[in-house]
Chain A
Amino acid sequence: MIKAILIFNNHGKPRLSKFYEHYTEDMEQQIIRETFHLVSKRDENVCNFLEGGLLIGGSDNKLIYRHYATLYFVFCVDSSESELGILDLIQVFVETLDKCFENVCELDLIFHMDKVHNILAEMVMGGMVLETNMNEIITQVDAQNKMEKSEAGIAGAPARAVSAVKNMNLPEIPRNINIGDISIKVPNLPSFK
């Protein structure tokens, strides 16, 4: 089970935190600090797994993290999860963010926190992996965003007019990009303290 998903930048500023088990607020902050402390002192060329972290589960706890430019993505999981599986899940998550925000950067995570949470909710539910297919996740998120638009008042208009307006607003038709070997691709995240 996934116990927590944390994103913080190189300075330890939290950018997203989602806990799937209940901790007090103080504890959550301590966990973030401890995790940052553990992860930040690791070199670049070491493995992406860590054990320990006394606050969140002790010996049954694994930290699996990836470091992209300015951001650390850390998943705290228990011993039943597969290390490599989670590692690729982080990759899927980041790629999805990249696609939803078109070249995601740290700023996107701050200003669209709610969207990031929504994307995450489509991937992981109650600590369990729900969906791992990027296209599927994006479809779900898009469906909700469409809802958002229709909420904004399009719903009542004639269908053709709607499509006209939509096309006006969205000059770009969604691109169908075929990504090659993603494991080497690092999304470009401009530095932002």
Chain B
Amino acid sequence: MSDVVEKTLTALPGLLSLDSQPGAAKLSATSRLGTLVRSITELTSKNEEEKLIKKELAAIKEQVSSPNTTLKQMKEIMVRAIYCEMLGYEASFTYIHAIKLAQQGSVLEKRVGYLAVSLFLHECHDLLLLLVNTVLKDLQSTNLIEVCMALTVVSQIFPKDMIPAVLPLVEDKLTHCKEIIRRKAVLALYKFYLIAPNQVQHIHDKFRRALCDKDPGVMTASLHIYLQLVKERPESYRDLTESFVTILKQVVGGKLPVDFNYHSVPAPWLQMQLLRILALLGKEHQRTSEMMYEVLDESLRRAEINHNITYAILYECVKTIYTIHPKSELLEKAAKCIGKFVLSPKINLKYLGLKALTYVVQQDPNLALQHQMTIIECLDHTDPIIKRETLELLYRITNSQNVSVIVEKMLDFLQQSKDEYTTIDLVGKLFPISCHTYAPDNSWFIQTMNAIFSMGGDVMQRDIPNNFLRLLAEGFDSDEEDRQLRLLAVDSYLLLLQRDTSGLPQRFLQVISWVLGEFSFLKEGLEPGEVVGQLTKVLDHDAITVETCCWVLAAMSKLCGTDCALHRAEKVAQRYAGCLDTVLRQQTVELELLGRDLDLRTRVLPQHSVRDHLEVDSSLSFLDGFVSDALACGAAPYKPPHQRQEELSQEKILNYEPYGLSLPISLSACNLTDRQSPTALSLSSGLSGNSAEPSLKAGSNSLKLEGVKRVWGKQGYLPEKEPPDEALALEPSSFLAPSPQQGAAESHQTVVSPTIEQDQEKRQLASSLFVGLGSQNTPCLMGKPETSSQRFRRKARPEEFSAISKSPAVSSVFSSSNSAMDDLLDDVVSEPIGVCPLVEPAVVQNHSDSMSDAVPAVDATELVVASEAPVSSLTGGSMPLGQLSSQLGQDLESSLASHLPGLLSGLLRSGIEELCSGEGLSLSACKVYDDDALVLAIFLSNTSDSSIQEVSCLLSSEQLQLKGLDESSCSFTELKGHGVAVSLYRLVMEAPSTQAMVRGSVSVGSQATQSFSLTLSLVDFIRPLPLTTEQYGRMWLSFSHDVKQNLRLLEDEEVLLDSAVTALKEKLRLHIVDVIGPEGILACQLVPERPCLLHCHAQGGTLVLWLRSPGADLPDCLLYHCQKAIQER
């Protein structure tokens, strides 16, 4: 015993002195930082501060580079560096030391090191690479604090390409025994999901486990992930609704430990999060909404205590109630709640009340009516934020009766506000409501626009003046009214110019000069010379910009009709003849030329010209000859800017992969250092040269890439026509429709053109900020029905119709085989079967009698081919088509397969699945995997006895592009009783994504009867790419985008690789190039012609997948499917 005491006593002084040391160090640190801070605060000017900090930074620099600096001192230095950085002075030389501190320091120093790193570096910083090992080490540490720090830094700054390195470790942390670690791991994974969703696809199960974690904190953290997931795809998470409701019920019911209470409210932030998720889930879905009514009611009832945080919950609750499928009882309560907010004396609550009103006013205009007086009061509130929110609310309830009042209020506010954001925002709202639907008369409109332009100044969005001019130019329904409006504009602008114009914004001056140039002839008795004189005055101001000068000169060129005007204009032109700005000078020269040559002027600038539709050849096709000449002379093909940029950045990119393990053996022979060696890089870039796709030359000739002929790239003009064989396939031949071309053309016009026109109108509306639907449906505050129609609707242009009807009318109705097709068939058939020997034998086909009548005369050979056509087993997985019963599938298979056009019957295809049916029309679909596209065959079968007229099937997709065989529709003039028609769509995926949605609708006559949607997987667009190992090696080096992922599979090494490779081949149809020892290489392409190479390496129980491609997204998306394929083996 005494021994122990003695030991303790002897140890004590040492301990004390040790303990006092850091204290002393802290003191000195404080004093150093203190001196710095104090001296900074004593300074009076920014200049002196800069000097002082510079001095300080120099001192820091000296200290960090000295070898004698201890880690402890380094820690203080870091804090000082952080302080300097916070003040906005760069201390980049300390970054590397921050990383070093995080690497070498003890926990305490490490913490400062990590903190400095996360404040200094960002996700694109090169130095981050040096941190990876430290983070990996700390993630594996037994010290909880180190793990926490590592997780924090990972979630803060790790970029996409470093995630695979840490992902398995972070994943492991989900099962850590400490809840704080689990919680941080969940948030880190959430961050990963935001940055690279495809890389964490495989751990969605684990998210679910986190949701069910026994610790409520972890569950709360997992809700962040679910909020995001549900936001993206609510339909996939509807099954979780009940869980969320149960959780909320428990929380509201006070089942959580008291620790989670905040001001005696149980876990308020958790409640809010849950309410947000529920709102997303219940939106436009009645059944889901019904599940949550009870708990929402409970939430509203419980949140009665008067504390800020209960109001926060109430606000979320109200929003949820108004978002989900409505229930009147709840709505009533929610409305009462909003009332509480709006009437509250607390200004924060009032603000939120107004926000809530703005949110619900479209559904429930009466609510605004109830709070009319409060709203009026808020309009004169001292707080500009409240005022603006009120205006926002008024904006939503604008109609033709109240528009002038609301606009007046908004203009008042605009005048007082000096804030740029407010101005942009308000002008953006003012413009549409004052001109779109509600303008009471022309002079009001012009006056309002004048006010908007003079106050909005030069900060307003660019398209507002443009749209205004377009409105004036294109006019409305009646010519007389147009003339009057223009005349009014001219009058008011002349009046404005007579006054002092120096205060007018440039944009407004541009508008004025354009209008005067274009329309001043409308005013009788107005001498053009006078207008030119007025405009000259505008040019005299110092503040005028070159751009405005150009506008003014352009206006003058239109005006020099009389001698006097010409004389004046020329005088002005002389003034600018020597100016250096090329655009202005061009304008000057034009003015002079056009002024002298009357004929030319009337030809170039005819009056009324603005009404004529200008044909702009945006594809620049008139340059084709020039381009092909240049190409023939050896010029490099055009590359769009983003691609050039990409290639540039690729050359600079660093490879984050560690050496060794992942390097393919077959490749290491030819190039050991891989891309990390600069010589290898230049070699490969030398190989690919300047060609648009680096793979082109390195790739094999089997890729059939067009190479130089692709002149204008993806969006631009491609002078080459479709290959002749496709053109053949376009040739429709029909038994049912007497003149399919004509018929299709007709229905084309009727069906397609309205949609296109609508589309254009939509775009127009959006760009000009016409809040179309919103203001159209706006309820009337006064309770009177709305009478005025849209005044300023654009007229439909006849050209649009004609342009569409010119497009080739294509539809394949029962395409039968002809001799040309047979030839083609032979070519096509041999290949896919050779490539994909792993397909199931075809389902036995029985032609039902009722159908065979309608079947076109099919010759014997084709029938054989059709029945031998392989039916793929690819329908599993993500494809919703595959959910039908096999019996039904068989029936469909047998009855419809024969209707596939002969051209396609030799190709690999999926089974035929029913999409929807009703009203005598049933729809089925089948995917045919053509070489250069996915052909979607939609079978329209008439199940009734009578024939159906004018059937058409429209397909659209945001992610996919329709090309080839068809435009966007297939229509048939007549579909006989029990007849079947086939619509074919060739689809390609321009931008790779894991899956894509196709929506379609069928219309009979002009009425849409049925709609369907189909999810297509990336796999549908993947084709094998036959390559030799050598070609593979060359291509591998030339591709720059890669992803890598480790899959832990816990299987025997030998079996693992084999089975994985086979799975990839069977499920994704990848081509196996070679398998050497524990490594395998595979190749595929995304149609058309985007290769992707895959390398897998089995190590112990882990499979390392490494994908490379010339494009950035493809490897990412494909990796997801590879993972799935391997895990679902």
Contact = CB atoms under 8 A, between A and B. Distances in A.
B308 A59 contact: no
Nearest to A158: B8
A193 B38 CA distance: 10
Nearest to B158: A126
29 contacts: A17-B86, A18-B119, A22-B123, A45-B347, A47-B347, A47-B348, A47-B385, A48-B348, A49-B351, A49-B385, A51-B388, A52-B419, A87-B312, A88-B312, A92-B262, A110-B33, A113-B83, A114-B111, A125-B155, A131-B217, A132-B262, A132-B269, A151-B108, A154-B19, A157-B11, A158-B8, A160-B8, A164-B12, A165-B15
B15 A85 contact: no
B152 interface: yes
Given A46-B385, A52-B419, A154-B15, A80 B272 contact: no
Interface string A109-123: 011011001100100
Nearest to A166: B19
Nearest to B221: A130
Contacts of B262: 88, 92, 132-133
A179 to B, nearest CB: 10
Interface string A179-193: 001110000000011
Contacts of B168: none
Interface string A1-33: 000000000000010111010100110110000
Interface of A: 14, 16-18, 20, 22, 25-26, 28-29, 38, 43, 45-54, 58-59, 80, 82-85, 87-89, 92, 110-111, 113-114, 117-118, 121, 125-126, 128-133, 135-136, 140, 143-144, 147-149, 151-154, 157-158, 160-161, 164-165, 169, 181-183, 192-193
Contacts of B672: none
A84 B15 contact: no
A75 B189 CA distance: 24
B19 A165 contact: yes
Contacts of A135: 259
B216 to A, nearest CB: 11
Nearest to B231: A80
Which of A85, A113, A165 has its CB near the most chain B CB atoms (within 10 A)? A85
Contacts of A54: 420-421
Nearest to B424: A54
Given A113-B79, A193-B41, A129 B15 contact: no
A50 B8 contact: no
A47 B254 CA distance: 31
Given A47-B383, A110-B37, A125-B155, A84 B263 contact: no
A160 B106 CA distance: 24
Contacts of A45: 347, 382
Nearest to A135: B259
A35 to B, nearest CB: 12
Interface string B62-90: 00000000000000000100110111101
A114 B79 contact: yes
Interface residues of B, number: 80
B47 to A, nearest CB: 16
A65 to B, nearest CB: 12
A52 B85 contact: no
Interface in B217-237: 217, 221, 224, 227
Given A133-B262, A161-B11, A183-B307, A84 B421 contact: no
A24 B12 CA distance: 51
Given A84-B312, A182-B263, A111 B272 contact: no
Contact of A126 (B156, B269, B308, B421): B156
A58 B421 contact: yes
A25 B308 contact: no
Given A18-B119, A51-B385, A165-B15, A133 B79 contact: no
Given A47-B383, A110-B37, A113-B82, A88 B7 contact: no
Contacts of B124: 22
A25 B90 CA distance: 8
Contacts of B348: 47-49, 83-84, 87
B327 interface: no
Interface in B402-429: 419-422, 425
Contact of B351 (A38, A47, A181): A47
Contacts of A181: 263, 307
B209 to A, nearest CB: 19
A149 B272 CA distance: 39
B15 A52 contact: no
Interface in B171-208: 180, 183-184, 187-188, 190-191
A18 B119 CA distance: 7
A125 B351 contact: no
A164 B152 contact: no
Given A16-B86, A126-B188, A130-B183, 14 more contacts: A22-B122, A25-B88, A46-B383, A47-B383, A49-B385, A52-B421, A82-B316, A84-B352, A85-B268, A111-B34, A121-B115, A149-B19, A153-B18, A158-B7
Nearest to B154: A126
A19 B609 CA distance: 53
Nearest to A153: B18
B191 A126 contact: yes
Contact of A53 (B22, B115, B224, B421): B421
A84 B386 CA distance: 16
Contacts of A117: 115, 119
